Amino acid sequence: MSLLHVEELAINFGGISALAGVSFDVEPGSVFTIIGPNGAGKTTIFNLLSRIYEPTRGRMIFQGEDVTHVPPHDIARRGIARTFQNIELFEHATVLQNFLLGRHAHKRSRFWEELLFLPRVRALELEHREAVEKVIDFLDLQPYRDSFIVNLPYGVRKVVEMGRALCTQPTLLLLDEPSSGLSVEETEDMAFWIQDIRTLLGITVLMVEHDMSLVSAVSDRVLALNYGRVLAVGSAREVQAHPDVVKAYLGG
Amino acid sequence: MDTILQLVLNGVAVGCIYGLVALGFVLIYKATELVNFAQGDLLMLGAFTCYMFVVWYGVAYWAAFALAIAIVGLFGAALDAAVLRRVIGQPQFAVVMLTIGLGAIFRSFASITWGSEIYTLPTPFSARATRLGGVTVSHEYVSIIVGTIVLCGALYAFFRYTKFGVAMQAASQNQLAAYYMGIPVKRMFSLIWAISAGVAAIAGVLLAPVSLIDINLGFIGLKAFAAAVLGGFGSIPGALVGGITIGLIELFAGAYLPHGFKDVAAYVVLLLVLAVRPQGMFGAVGRKRV
Amino acid sequence: MRFVFKTSYGQDLGMFRDGVQRNWYIALLVGLLLLPRVLPDYTVDLSLVFIYGLCGISLMVLAGYTGLVSLGHAAFLGIGAYAHVYFIHDLHLPWIVSVALACVITAAVGVLVGLPALRMTGVYLTIATLAFALIIQEVFARWEHVTGGLKGKPVDKPVLFGVSFAHDVAFYLLCLIFLIGGLWVTLNVLRAPTGRAWVAIRDSEIAAQSLGVNLAVYKTMAFGYSAALMGVAGALFSHKIGFLAPDIFSVLLSIQLLLMVVVGGLGSLHGAVYGAVFVAILPVLISQARDAVPAWGGLDRFVKQPGLEPGLFGLILVLFILFEPLGIYGRWTKIKLYFAMFPLYKRATFRRQKAYMRSERLR
């Protein structure tokens, strides 16, 4: 059974149909990439999965459960984490605090316990810190641990955002344009990390990407989207060779 | 029936004042996305300035009116150039506090310059009324309504048909792009503040014969918030419609509901609108794109 | 410049950065305990500082940490005050029970205000709290059975467990205990997941939701907690001023409370306390300065005018926002950094990047 099953997903904004019936399946333990020109509706799919938008029709089934209409804050608890195209980090907090917030879905202390900061709360906090430190080690962010986000360069912020999503210990990780704004070296690092996330951490990755070299390097399956419709699904090479995809990118 | 017509007339007149103050809010908000909590105090300054020219210096009413508008308008532009320009880009909360502080300074200034008692402004419409059927039509109220209509017409034409109006909308939507297009953004903002302050001054002078002048006249601005929110904070016709609606609700609440409801009617409406339909009647809801 | 050498994760969890900071605060506590001996005339004013400190913490949690700016907090102060006085005088409940009940009732009202506030953002929320405060002020005036209406209600000095706290020093210590308690509880919450969730809501609601923060629950909790602290502050406040009347809890008081957190420095509890000191001490300083002004060409008559004081508050607020938006705590941090980095401090360290306004409204 597929980890994520999307069926006839569609959404209209006023008169514009941003998605016109998109269906695909994501197998567990794979890297699934969505490509397409700007405005194709890629981030819209992510926003629907994060429940920021409400679909006009269609269904999303995650791990056998229908998540089409659950409240947005429920998604993290179910095991879906995401990064944002324009970084949505907590600017006035440190990297460590951002990561600790990533653990919020695993919060087990109650408000009145926190008021008195009972030993149980302290123990749970130390557990969260251990989990966060593992992610910091994985992404080599030790020097930035106590830096405020406002002081960090763009490339580091991208990595921090991915790290924060990893701290939720997700089953499915949504990466929105992970290499945009990154240099060649940083993109190569990103490719290694995505492969490690799939292989070492066992997390399924659903990715929106423009950089074809990255797509070819890491993806197991690729889906091409244009004007809210699926053009082609298959391996990276198959999709890139597909005549409709070529027409969408190069015109004619 | 006559009572109802009377209430409607008075409500519309009072509502026009709320609408004018709300108009000032909305103008500044549309241009700079700031909410000017000192708008009511600018109204108060306008009323006092006119009073000063008429009573202290014996200037004729209409000349004093014009002078008050000009002086307060220039003051608004100066305020923008000197103070408000420095806080562009800061969080909205900081600007709110800034305008609140400015309002307190204006009130203090007024009490020092003109005194803290209650003053009357003699006008050509004072204490005159015509009876139409069973309804007493006070000339002061008529002056308010007529003044509001004239002013709104002028502003509408200005924004629709002149280069300034279009440029102002551009500057409000994306300041940096407006700079690149050669729009003198800083001058635009000062102009908008001048217009908004002028509108407040007009409202103050029109209101003065009805409610008498004192330093706390500006608290009417709080009720004008309700008008602006009801109409939709980014909408100019909405401000006026909202104001008139609030005026009518207030007058009818005062007549038919128990004592004390009249004073809070505007705020109750405000809370209801914000809870149920925050964009008001004509506004638009923004959503952050991620 | 001192570097803190960290050897365990627990050190980051502690309330103090290290033993040195803890010792400074203990010294401060000892100083405060001895202060009534040194400055006996100012004991009464200092208890007001502590009460304002509680108010400052309350508003700092809501506005500074969660980003929900309230222009109506005087209403919560009034609800706490009137509820407490009603329980003590009319229902003759014991003092501690009365304060606890006042706290709970104010918290409940806070939650009720927080619920519709979920749909409002930014300045709309501020306006809504302002409207709420104006309505509550009218309720105070009309609900004569409980509040005594416009006639007002006199308040006796507190009596706990049969012991009277009418003496200035006793009341001072009582307020100090409550302030320390409030600080301790708030610091606990702020270093726990709930406090982090509040900061997340301030910085990016969308990201917070994507991480599992239920906005409705946490925003309401922020309102409720803030109101609870104001309820306790209101109970103490009622004893301090001795006489309750509706026009005490006006918009101007709400503005003064907001001024406290802005001038003190948004985003830190230190700021709340600095702001409280500032707002409580300033009128005293102004009246002393007034008497000291010499009679140069009518200058002394000018400064003695009653309408001058609110203008002075406004001027200070404006100057702080223009020139020191980080508040007193911000300026103190800069001063400490200057000495820590001497002589390598650069003036541009804290310069803000020039920001252009970009509309987030969509048509």
- A-chain residues within 8 Å CB-CB of C211? 76, 81, 101-102, 104-105, 164, 168
Structural domain including A122 reads: 86-169
Residue A199 maps to a domain: no
- Which residues in chain A are contacts of C210 at CB distance < 8 A? 50, 72, 75-76, 81-82, 84, 88
Task: Indicate yes or no: CB of C208 within 8 angstroms of CB of A101.
Answer: yes
Q: Average pLDDT for residues A199-216, to the nearest whole number?
A: 92
Which pLDDT score is estimated for A94?
93
Whether C355 sits inside 8 A of B87 (CB atoms) is no
B235 within domain boundaries: yes
C250: left (phi over 0), alpha (psi -120 to 50) or beta: beta
Q: Is the peptide bond before C283 cis (omega within 30 degrees of 0)?
A: no
Q: Is the residue at A198 inside a domain?
A: no
User: Which tokens in the block code for residue C103?
Assistant: 């706290």
Structural domain includes residue C353? no
Cα nearest neighbour of A45 on chain B: B290
Which of A169, A184, A217 is where one domain is finished?
A169
Q: Looking at residue B66, which CATH number applies to its domain?
A: 1.10.3470
| pLDDT higher than 80, residue C176 | yes
Residue A152 lies in a domain: yes
What is the average per-residue pLDDT within A16-22? 90
Find tokens 């799919």 and name the residue: A45
Structural domain count of chain B = 1
Euclidean distance between CA atoms B75 and B200, whole angstroms: 12
Beta strands in C235-290 (DSSP E): 243-244
Give the separation between CA A81 and CA A55, rounded to whole angstroms: 19
Q: Is residue B282 part of a domain?
A: no
We report the CATH number of the domain holding residue A9 as 3.40.50.300
A179-190 pLDDT per residue, tens: 988 999 999 999
- Which of A102, A115, A128 comes nearest C211 by C-beta? A102
| A146 in any annotated domain | yes
Q: Judge whether C218 and C197 are in contact, CB under 8 Å.
A: yes
- pLDDT given at position C360: 47
Say how many domains are in chain C: 1
**Using CA atoms, how far apart are residues C123 and C132, in angstroms rounded to an integer?**
14
By residue range, what is the domain housing residue B16?
2-128+137-276
Are the C-beta atoms of C231 and C107 separated by less than 8 Å? yes
Are both A31 and A47 inside the same structural domain?
Answer: yes
Please report, for residues A135, B28, C355, the alpha-carbon distance to residue A157 in angstroms, rounded to integers and kept in the order given. Answer: 15, 35, 20
Same domain, A74 and A95: no
Other CB atoms within 10 A of residue B19 CB: 32
Beta strand A204-208 with A31-35 is parallel
- The predicted pLDDT at position C353 comes to 62
B290 located within any domain:
no
- C138 located within any domain: yes
pLDDT at residue B282 greater than cutoff 80? no
Residue A196 tokens read as: 């490690």
Decide if C282 is inside a domain.
yes
- Chain A residue numbers with beta carbons less than 8 Å from the beta carbon of C212 are 73-77, 104-105, 107, 168
Specify the number of domains making up chain A: 2
The answer to whether residues A119 and A176 belong to one domain is no
C-alpha angle A197/A199/A204, rounded to 5°? 60
Mean pLDDT of B106-122: 86
Q: What is the pLDDT of residues C269-320, one digit of tens each?
A: 989 999 999 988 888 888 888 777 777 766 766 777 777 888 888 899 999 9
Residue A70 has pLDDT above 80, yes or no: yes
User: Which domain covers residue C303, as residue numbers?
Assistant: 42-347
Torsion, CA B40, CA B43, CA B47, CA B48, rounded to 10: 70
Residue A72 lies in a domain: yes
In a shared domain, residues A66 and A126:
no
| Nearest C-alpha in A relative to B289 | A86
Q: Which residues of B27-40 are buried (b: 16+ CB within 10 A; e: fewer)?
A: bbbbbbbbbbbbbb
**CB contact at 8 A, A34 and A236:** no
For chain C, how are helix, strand and coil distributed in percent, rounded to 5? 75, 0, 25
Q: Determine, yes or no, domain membership for C53.
A: yes
Q: Is A2 exposed, middle or buried (0-12, 13-18, 19+ CB in 10 A)?
A: middle
The Cα C41–Cα C43 span in angstroms is 6
Written as one letter, the residue type at B133 is G
- Predicted local confidence at residue C355, as pLDDT: 57
Tell me how long chain B is: 290
CA dihedral of B215, B220, B221, B224, whole degrees rounded to 10? -170
- Helices C193-203 and C215-241, axial angle in degrees (round to 10): 100
Question: Is the domain of A65 the same as that of A111?
Answer: no
The reply to whether B12 falls in a domain is yes
Task: Say if the Cβ atoms of C192 and A129 lie within 8 Å.
Answer: no
Determine contact, residues A210/A102, Cβ cutoff 8 Å: no
Inter-residue contact B61 to B225 (CB < 8 Å): no
pLDDT of B285 > 70? The answer is no
The CATH number that applies at residue C277 is 1.10.3470
Q: Is A116 helix (H, G, I), strand (E, B) or coil?
A: helix
Query: What is the amino acid identity at position C221?
Result: M
Within 13 Å of residue B130, how many CA atoms lie on the same side as its CB? 8
Same domain, A176 and A252: yes
Establish if C22 belongs to a structural domain: no
Residue B236 has pLDDT above 90, yes or no: no
Which residues in chain C are contacts of B264 at CB distance < 8 A?
134-135, 138
Interchain contact, C128 vs B271, CB within 8 Å: yes
Residues of B in contact with C315 (CB under 8 A): 101, 105
Q: Who's near C291: CB < 8 A, 6+ residues apart?
A: none
CB nearest to C210's CB, from A50, A107, A133: A50
On the question of pLDDT at B262 being above 90, the answer is no
* Same domain assignment for residues A8 and A62: yes
Summarised one tens digit per residue, pLDDT across range C195-207 is 999 999 998 899 9
- Listed range (A103-112, C90-99, C347-356) with the worst mean pLDDT: C347-356
Cα–Cα distance measured from residue B193 to residue B208, given in angstroms and rounded to the nearest whole number: 22
To the nearest whole Å, the CA of C13 is away from the closest chain A CA by: 8
Q: Provide CB contacts within 8 A for C11, sequence distance 6+.
A: C4, C18
pLDDT value of residue B287: 59
> Would residue C11 count as lying in a domain?
no
Q: Kindly tell me the sign of the dihedral angle through the C-alpha atoms of C261, C263, C269, C273.
A: negative
